Amino acid sequence: MRVVRLTSARMVERGGGHILTLASMGSILGLAGEASYAASKHGLLGYLKSVELELRGTGVALSAVLPAVVDTELARGTATAGVPMLSAADVADAVMLSLRNPKLERTVPSYAGAMVRLANVLPLGIRNALNDRMVPDNVKDADRSVRAAYEAKYVA
């Protein structure tokens, strides 16, 4: 938030610019077992939505790239459920597209955002059933043997 505030002020002074952030699909959906992570990502996107309104007419654009699960050390041993495991190149492609064509929310894969929005208008029981099939509970269902090295290094 501090970086966006300070950077946007300088961009307004010079008449334009583009701030791009990386967040997560967790910005637009709940993640069982990952409430704190999801809250931080929801908070970032909510902040950017408000700042975008405040910057209207200044020439400063905001973009948030929201990838699903990316093949990183953090994700090893977790599931992807409804979308394929992404590569760093998939995220880089979305970043480059956002730089060429600013858009506040760019989900990776692109169809995932539409799926989440569609699910949000469904009755709660259907939405929960769909969520159970499409969004993994990576705390409960993670492969602990694959995650052991990561968790030994980072999880207190």
Rounded Cα distance between 23 and 7, Å, is 18
- Given the residues 37, 47, 111, 154, select the one marked as catalytic: 37
154 is catalytic: no
Q: DSSP letters of 76-142?
A: TT---TTSPPBPHHHHHHHHHHHHHS--SEEEESTHHHHHHHHHHTS-HHHHHHHHHHHS--TTTS-
Residue 80 CB burial class (10 angstroms; 0-12, 13-18, ≥19)? middle
Active site positions, annotated: 37
